[in-house]
Amino acid sequence: MFRQLKSLVAQSATYGLGDLLTKAIAFLLIPVYTRYLSVADYGILGVASSLTAVLGILYPLGLNAAAMRFYYDAPDEVSRRDLLGTMAVAVLAIGLALTLILAATPLGPTLFGLAVRDIPFSPYITTLLWTACFANASVIPLVIFRVQERPRRYVAYTVGGFLLTTAAILYFVVGRRTGALGNLRGVMIASGIMMLAYVATTFRHANLTFQRRWLAQGLAYGLPVVPHLLAHWALTLSDRSILNHLVPLDQVGVYTLAYQVSIALSLVTQALNTAWMPFFYRLASEPDAERKLARFFTYYLGIATFVALGLAMLGGDIILIVAAPTFHSAAGWVPVITLAHLAQGFYYPAVFALFYRRKTAYLPLITGSAAALNIALNLALIPSWGIAAAAWSKVAAYVVLAAITFAAGQRVYRIPWEGRRVALMVGLGAGLWAASALLLGPLALGARVAARLALFAAFPLLLWAARFPTGDERAHVMRLLAGRRR
């Protein structure tokens, strides 16, 4: 089992390092962006990221999820290539059709006029539409890299696209000083260039074909995933759109920066999810799979808790160090939004069972319930409490989502979760954060950061002292340490 874990962690680390590299560069550019973009520009980009996420869900119609699930059921290599080719052709055609309809007919301005305020449809929204069309070409090749367990190729493409995008943004924002619109245009141009690379890659691994049976099966599996993902959008990004209607744009910009820092935890859980979902599909049918999955998910949640603790302790201080003074009020909201992302991290292992058992029809109801709660809380509380309401509403919604999904997943594929060990991790992390906030908060910035780093490093040592590892895990760790000493 430790050999499987080593392979799985290595793949997760590769995906995670790719995300970490992109976010690290984005983080280092915060001082640049906060000086060349106004707080209102940041607010526009926060709303734009929300809309881009919606388009990224609608354009593939869930066919990328179907391609991943059915890949393991295809009987031979030719069938797999036909499956991937059919899904790729359909995704490209659907994306182009939707872009033309929304950009060139009155439907687009009408729909987006309901969703945003103070952001013109042309050129801002039309730029987003073409960006989504170009980016849609990436969904099938990224599935190919995942199912073929080629994380380095996956990371090479995603990091390459990010670097190209960053260069284009800097050209327009810093070189041309065109503000938020320049940022959006830079993303669009980079997405168009990457589209050519993604299409060429797709049809090196897939047949240029269109088979109705694969499309029919793909839509039957994938269409329920669309409202499920839209509900996830409502959980993740709708707060920016609601804030855009109810508070000034500068407050949306402050909230966006706090979210940008705390989302590092979501990047870690997404990297784990990227590697572990194909692993789940392969392992779930093996003997004693449930016990192994329970152990692996404990490790998964341990990584998520460790990263969440670091962000909750240090994320606000990082904003105070790197951001312009007008953004410093964002520091106080990093721990709250990080808590929401940790609850989201607990959702991922639970939902794997529903995808494996092909119970995707349940997903819209589950995520829709949590999304409805999030939207209702935002609409009710933001007028009085502003961005505080948005942050705490996200926590409540993600906790509800994780709880409902856990119950549903256990009904269709029971996993003997290691509840005592998970509770120990979360409880210890909460205690360390409370000590950091209450005891270290009054210290000067430099001393506070140093003390919090020491407290953060103590987390795994305290877990060891609390006898969190099982006997075989402790023996394995001691063998590794002995080998390193030799």
Range list of β-strands (E), 194-246 = none
What average pLDDT does the chain have?
83
Instruction: Give domain limits for the chain.
Output: 1-24+225-478, 62-222
Alpha-helical runs (H) found in 59-178: 63-71, 77-104, 107-115, 126-135, 139-147, 151-170
pLDDT grade, residue 386 (50/70/90)? Answer: confident
How many other CB atoms are there within 10 angstroms of residue 445's CB atom? 10
CA distance 401 to 405: 6
Beta carbons within 8 Å of 352's beta carbon, 6+ residues apart: 276, 277, 280, 409
pLDDT of 407 higher than 70: yes
**For residue 133, what pLDDT is reported?**
93
With vertex at residue 365, the alpha carbon angle to CA 362 and CA 366, rounded to the nearest 5 degrees, is 85
CB 337 within 8 A of CB 391: yes
Q: What span, in angstroms and rounded, lies between the C-alpha atoms of 359 and 224?
A: 9
Locate tokens 């499956």: which residue? 83
Give the Cα separation of 372 and 381 in Å (integer).
14
Is 223 in contact with 44 (CB distance < 8 Å)?
A: no
pLDDT of 11 strictly over 70 = no
pLDDT digits (tens, 9 = 90+) for 226-279: 888 788 777 776 777 788 778 887 788 888 888 878 877 777 777 777 777 777
- Identify whether 123 is preceded by a cis peptide bond (ω within 30 of 0): yes
Cα 117 from Cα 47, distance rounded (Å): 10
Dig out the tokens for 104 from the structure. Answer: 């060139």
Residue type, 109: P
**Could you give the angle at the alpha carbon of 133 between the alpha carbons of 130 and 138, nearest 5°?**
135
The reported pLDDT for the residue numbered 181 is 86
- Give the tens place of pLDDT for each residue, 143-185: 888 888 787 888 888 888 888 988 998 899 888 888 888 888 9
Q: Which residues contact 2 (CB under 8 A, 6 or more apart)?
A: 476
Which pLDDT score is estimated for 100? 93
235 neighbors 310 (Cβ within 8 angstroms): no
| pTM score above 0.85 | no
* CA 320, chain centre distance (Å): 25
- Give the model's pLDDT for residue 159: 83
- Rounded to whole angstroms, what are the CA distances from 252 to 115, 182, 224, 386? 15, 19, 31, 10
Does residue 351 surpass a pLDDT of 90?
no
Which residue's structure tokens are 């990004």? 237
The mean per-residue pLDDT over the stretch 310-330 comes to 85
What is the rounded CA–CA span in Å between residue 284 and residue 349? 13
d(CA 151, CA 330): 34
Encoded amino acid at 433, one letter? W
For 374-404, letters b (16+ CB in 10 Å) and e give bbebbeebbeeebbebbbbbbbebbbbbbeb
CB 145 within 8 A of CB 203: no
Question: Measured between alpha carbons, how far is 407 from 39 in angstroms, rounded to an integer?
Answer: 42
